[in-house]
Chains A and B, each alone.
Chain A
Amino acid sequence: MSVDSLVVELLSAMTTAGSLFIIAAGLTLVFGAMRIANIAHGSFYMYGAFLVSSIVSSFGGTAFWFSLAVAPMIVAAIGIVVEVTVLRRVYDKDHLTQLLATYALFLILADLGLRFWGAQSRAVPAPAILSGSVRLGVASFPIYDLFVVGAAIAVGASLWALLRFTLLGWRILAAVEDAEMLAAKGTNVRLLYTTVFALGAFLAGFGGAVIAPLQSIDTGLDASIIVAAFIVVVIGGLGSVAGAAVGAVIVGLFEALGILWTPSWAPAYIYLAMIVVLQLRPSGLFGAAETT
C-alpha cells in the first residue's frame, strides 16, 4: 500500500469521524446536561438531511448554504416542541422510561417523516465550489470530505467557546455538575433544558445537513446513524464533548483500518472498539462513573 493511498485512507477516516462528531456532540451534550439518552437524535439527523433536500429542490443549488443554517434551525424548533410536550414529563422518571420515551419519539418521527417527504430517495448536489477533488500525490481526495472535516472542527471550536466563555455555557456545565444547585441559585433550569435540547437537535440537524450531499437521502437514515452515534458518545464518555471528538476519531480509524485489513469483519470493529474501551474505563474515556 502506497503512502498516498494510506493518506487517503486516513483522510477518509477523518471524514467519517467528522460527520460522526457533529451528530455525537449534540447527543452527548443533551445527555450530559439532562441525563437523557435521546434515540430520536437519529430522527433529527434525518430531518436535517430531508429539509436540505426540500430547500435545495425548491430554491436551487445555491440555496445549499442557506439551508445549512435554516434546516438545523427548523430541526431545533421541532426539538423544542418535543422537549416541551414529551421529555419534560420524563425527567424525574427512571432511565428505562426515558429511553422508551425517546424510542417512541423515534418511531413517531419516522412515520411522520415518511408521510411528509414520501418514500422517494433524494439527493442533494454539492455546491460547485465544494465539488471535485484535490490531488494528493497520485491519489485524489474529495473537497467536500475536507469540508465535512472543517465543519466538524468548527462545531467543536464553537462548542468549546460556548461552554468556556458564555453564561449559557457556564450554566450548561453547572447543570452537568449539579442541576439542583443551579436551580437553587435562581437559574430557570426548565428553560435551560429546553435550550440545551434545542441545541442538541440543532447539531443533529446540522449533521444531517452537512452529510446530505454525500448520501442517498431516504427514510432509513435515522436508524443508520443512531447506533454509531451512541457508540461514539459511549467511547468518549457520556456527557463529554471532548470525549465525543476522541470517540469519533477512534471509530473512524477503526472502520477504515478494518476495511484495509479484514474487510469482511470491518463493520464489527466499532463494536469491538466500544467493548474494549468500556473494559478499560467502564464510563468511557472522559466520562464520570455512573452512580447507582
Chain B
Amino acid sequence: MVKHLVRTGLAAVSAAMLTGSGWVVPAYGADTVAVALSTTLSGSIAEVGRTGLRGIRMALDRINAQGGLLGKQVRLVSADDGAFPANGVSNVRHMILADKAVAIFGPATSAVGTAVETVAGQYRLPVFFHMANDIQITTSNFTKYAFELVPNTVMEPRAIAYYFAENVAPKAGGKKIQIATITPNYSYGRDTVEVFLKTLKELKVNFEVVAQEFPQLGATDYTSYISALLAAHPNYVFAAIFGGDLITFTKQAQGFNFFKQTKIVGFYDQVPLRVLGQDSPDGAIGWNRAPFWAESGPGFKEFLADYRAKFHDAPSAWAITGYSAAQVWAYGVRKAGSFDADKVVGALSGATVPTIRGEITLRACDHQAEVPEFIGRVSAQIDPQYGQPIYSQTVAIAASKTMLTCAQAKSRQP
C-alpha cells in the first residue's frame, strides 16, 4: 500500500512537472497584447474555423504593420475546440488567464458560442461573434460584453422569407406553394426553418408545408431523405443545411434530377459554390452572410486581392466577417484609448464602425450589428474573374427589416 502510494505520488509529481514545463508561456514584451480565438480547426467543419482565423489574422497583421494598437503589437492566440463546448471554454479560460488576452473572437459553432459567451461574461472581456449566430447570444444568454457581427437566427430566415415573398411568391399565380424543409436537428436549423415559415405566414404568402425532414448533423447519406422529399412533390425545398453537409446533399440530390423537379432555397455561400463548381444548382436561391462578390466597403478590394494572392482562393464569408470583427475591436480600443474591457465595450455600444464591409452600427440594446443578409440566385457558371460560381443577382436585405425590435430583444434578455 505504501509502495503503491509512493509510486503513484512520484508519478503524479513528475507528470505535473512534465506537463507544467509545457506551460511556460513564451515571454512577450510589454509592448504586445494578446487576443483569443478558440474555434473549430479539425474535423468536418475545419475549413469554416480556419478561414475565419485567416481573416482575423490578416486584419491584425495589417494593424501591426501600421504600428499596432496604442503602441502595442497584437498577438493572436488560437486553439482548436474540436466543436466541443467544454474545450472551447477551457481554451478561452487559459487564454484569458495564461496569455492575458484582452478580447475574444467567437468560435465556429453556436453551441461553443453560447458557452464562450458565458465565460466572457464571467471574466468581463469583450467577445465578438463573427460566425456563431444563435439568437440566444443577443437575448436569453446576453451579456453586455458580447457583440454579434453577423445576422442572427431571427434576422437570417426573416430576410430569406422577405426575399421569397417579394421575388418568388408573386410568380406562383395565386396557387398554393408547396414547401418542404430539410435541416439537421440543431437549433440553428430548427430556428431557421421555424422563423422562415412563420415569417412567410406573417407576410401572407399562400403556402403549405408538405414534408419536413431532420437528418443527423454530419450525415453522409441523404439519398433516402432526397427520395422522401421528392415523393412529397414540393415546389420549393428550404434547406437550412450548412457547409460540407450541403455539398454532400447537393451532390446526391443531383443524381435524382432533384433540381429539375423542385427548386431549392439553401445556404449556398462561398465554400459550397467553390467546391461544387459547375455542379452548383443553377437558379437555386442562396443566402450568404458576406459574399465577397457583393462586399464593397473601403479597403475591401485590397483585402480581396491580398487574400487571393495569399491563399489562392476567394475569402469565405467567415474570413470577411473575421476581418471585420478584428477591425471592430481595434476601433473600440482606439476610441476608448485603452484595452480595458469596460471602456472598449462602452466605446462600441451604439457606435458606428468603419470596416471593410462598410459602416457597421452596433445597436446598443442587444449589441447586434446592423448588417444585411445577402440573398441571390445561384449561377452554375464559373465566374471568370473569381474562378468559381457566384450569384447572378445579389440582394441585400437590410437589418432594419429583420431585426427584433429593441423592446423584443430586451424582453428576452436576463
Contacts and interface: CB of A to CB of B under 8 A. Distances in A.
Interface of A: 1-2, 5, 8-9, 12-13, 15-16, 19, 110-111, 114, 119-123, 125-126, 131-133, 139-145, 213-216, 218-221, 223-225, 255-256, 259-260, 263-264, 266-267
Contacts of A255: 221, 224
Interface of A is mostly: helix
B224 A142 contact: no
Which 7 residue pairs across A and B have the least CB separation, nearest first?
A142-B255, A220-B44, A216-B247, A119-B46, A12-B223, A216-B244, A259-B224
A84 B278 CA distance: 43
26 contacts: A2-B231, A5-B230, A8-B256, A12-B223, A12-B226, A13-B224, A119-B42, A119-B49, A121-B47, A121-B275, A122-B275, A126-B255, A133-B255, A142-B252, A143-B255, A144-B255, A215-B220, A215-B248, A216-B247, A218-B44, A218-B244, A220-B45, A255-B221, A259-B228, A263-B228, A266-B224
Contacts of B277: 123, 125
A119 B218 contact: no
Contacts of A142: 252, 254-256
B293 interface: no
Contacts of A144: 255
Nearest to B271: A121
Interface residues of B, number: 46
Interface in B54-107: none
B296 interface: no
B366 interface: no
A219 B42 contact: yes
Nearest to B44: A220
B47 A120 contact: yes
Contacts of B185: 264
A263 B219 CA distance: 13
A131 B272 CA distance: 19
B211 to A, nearest CB: 9
Contacts of A15: 221, 223
A8 B231 CA distance: 10
Given A214-B252, A215-B248, A220 B43 contact: yes
B44 A219 contact: yes
B32 interface: no
Given A12-B226, A121-B271, A216-B246, 12 more contacts: A1-B231, A9-B224, A9-B228, A119-B42, A120-B47, A123-B251, A131-B255, A132-B257, A133-B257, A214-B248, A215-B251, A216-B251
A269 B45 CA distance: 26
B216 interface: yes
With most chain B CB atoms within 10 A of its CB, the pick from A111, A214, A260 is A214
Interface in B270-288: 271-272, 275-279
B89 to A, nearest CB: 22
Contacts, number: 135
A16 B226 CA distance: 13
With most chain A CB atoms within 10 A of its CB, the pick from B46, B185, B230 is B46
Contact of B227 (A9, A214, A218): A9
B227 to A, nearest CB: 5
Given A131-B255, A263-B214, A264-B185, A123 B224 contact: no
With most chain A CB atoms within 10 A of its CB, the pick from B227, B244, B245, B313 is B227
B44 A214 contact: no
Nearest to B253: A142
B213 interface: yes
Given A133-B256, A143-B255, A123 B276 contact: yes
A216 B245 contact: yes
B372 interface: no
A141 to B, nearest CB: 7
Contacts of A131: 254-255
B389 interface: no
B42 A114 contact: yes
Contacts of A126: 255
B44 A140 contact: no
A2 B227 CA distance: 12
A16 to B, nearest CB: 5
B41 interface: yes
Given A119-B46, A121-B247, A123-B276, A264 B214 contact: yes
Contacts of A139: 227, 230
B50 interface: yes
B47 A218 contact: yes
A140 B256 contact: yes
A223 B214 CA distance: 21
Nearest to B48: A119
B315 interface: no
Interface in B251-266: 251-252, 254-257
A233 B317 CA distance: 41
A122 to B, nearest CB: 6
Interface string B188-226: 000000000000000000000000011110111101111
With most chain A CB atoms within 10 A of its CB, the pick from B50, B247, B251, B278 is B251
Contact of A5 (B49, B214, B227): B227
B248 A216 contact: yes
A220 B244 contact: yes
A199 B308 CA distance: 42
A259 B182 CA distance: 13
Contacts of A119: 41-42, 46-47, 49-50
B228 A16 contact: no
A12 B255 contact: no
B243 interface: yes
